[in-house]
Amino acid sequence: MITAPGSGQGKSMVTAALARLHRNAGRKVRVFKHGPDYLDPMVLEVASGQPVYQLHPWMTGEAECRWRLTEAAQDADLVLVEGSMGLFDGDPSSADLAKLMGIPALPVIDARGMAQTFGAVALGLASFDPELPVRQVIANRIGSPRHGAMLRESLPEGIELLGAIPRNEAMNIPDRHLGLVQAGEMNDLDQRLDAAADVLAEAGLDGLPLPVTLEADAPEPPPPLLTGVRIAIARDAAFSFIYRANLDLLRAMGAKLEFFSPLADSTLPEVDAIWLPGGYPELHGVTLAGNQPMLDAIRTHYAAGKPMLAECGGLMACVDELMDHDGQIHKLLGLMPGRASMAGRLQALGLQRLSTEQGQLRGHTYHHSRLETDWQPLARTRKLAGTEAEPVFCQNGLVASYFHGYFPSAPELVAGIFRGQAIRPLIDKEPDHA
């Protein structure tokens, strides 16, 4: 488990560079991401050359966490799990996942402006939870070899400095308001990763950890609730926030998936349903608004009452107008009355659930825009932690919300959405944080 005392310590790039370092050495590397994250996995897939899945004991379930890591361990030489936020942040935290799986935590600690206090931070992480083994740490962004030696000397008995990574431009990767820049937008990502891998090799981080044993039973296959259903999925620079597990579930239930680009394509595939996932429509408002043939095709689909799921960025594309960060207004699909406007700060963040008679869909919310609409929601999510619950709008076959769902948590509900069946919400009697 590659973790850190908090966000911004450099663990994402260290995880990606480790994956590329061992891949370049001829090893098969599998990487996973703790928690609901779309952007880090895109980079980690390029780094490892293998698919990346999310692990979260609440959102994906403990059994699925065990199964995915066990399946990966059957033919991989190295399995890495990138944590989220700080090691003990959140509930369940990265530490909880590490303990559940019996894997050690390896903190990456930003050592800038730090000397002997480095040892205190390492000791705190190692002793905070006696059930979690922390035997090694990585010093990141050191200023000199002497600095690295001071950090090594500061460590208490029982904690080893695995490596000290110097400050190097190769270890930086651009980001924006929702996180890392999407992997597909960086033409030089492979070169960046190779250079970062070389930095880690020079820092002595090319060894393998001690082996662990993982065991789990394979899950039962889902029922074939979407046999013969054709689903068009938007996938391009504007709509890209898609869990691999969501695609796997749709296929396992019998759906035929067709991908299209609202930015570049002028027609829709011949399909029964549409999924507009989250992404960055606010960065592509001019192109989206200017692609009238595609807007008309989606409007025709909606007018026919065919099923349509719009998540977060997909929801933003469905309203009359989208106002971007510069205050420019773009006329979009107009399926929902109102406007989505980019705000100056984060509007919502946290794990959430949608409880229905067809199952409890688990997932999260994370957005910088706000919605103004006359539509009344059919249901609202409930928060596990974080910000307020999200409304879920349902009309004429369209299901739209800022909520991002993890489909395997509620296969029957997901199948019903793509078949155009009515969502039957339950009054969620569990308190928040349950």
Extended strands (E) in 44-191: 53-55, 78-82, 106-110, 136-142, 160-166, 175-176, 179-180
- What is d(CA 136, CA 205) in angstroms, rounded to the nearest whole number? 12
From the list 82, 76, 150, the residue with the least C-alpha distance to 113 is 150
Helix, strand, coil shares, percent, the chain, to 5:
30, 25, 40
- What is d(CA 256, CA 418) in angstroms, rounded to the nearest whole number? 12
DSSP per-residue string spanning 182-236: PGGG-TTHHHHHHHHHHHHHHTT--SPPPP-----PPPPPPP-TTTT-EEEEE-S
DSSP per-residue string spanning 37-52: -SHHHHHHHHHHSS--
- What is d(CA 242, CA 278) in angstroms, rounded to the nearest whole number? 8
What is the radius of gyration, based on Cα positions, of the chain?
22
**What number of CA atoms fall less than 13 Å from residue 371's CA on the CB side?**
27
From the list 65, 312, 318, 394, the catalytic residue is 312
CB-count burial class (<10 Å; 0-12, 13-18, 19+) for 200: buried
312 is catalytic: yes
- What is d(CA 177, CA 33) in angstroms, rounded to the nearest whole number? 20
Q: Hey, which residues are catalytic here?
A: 312
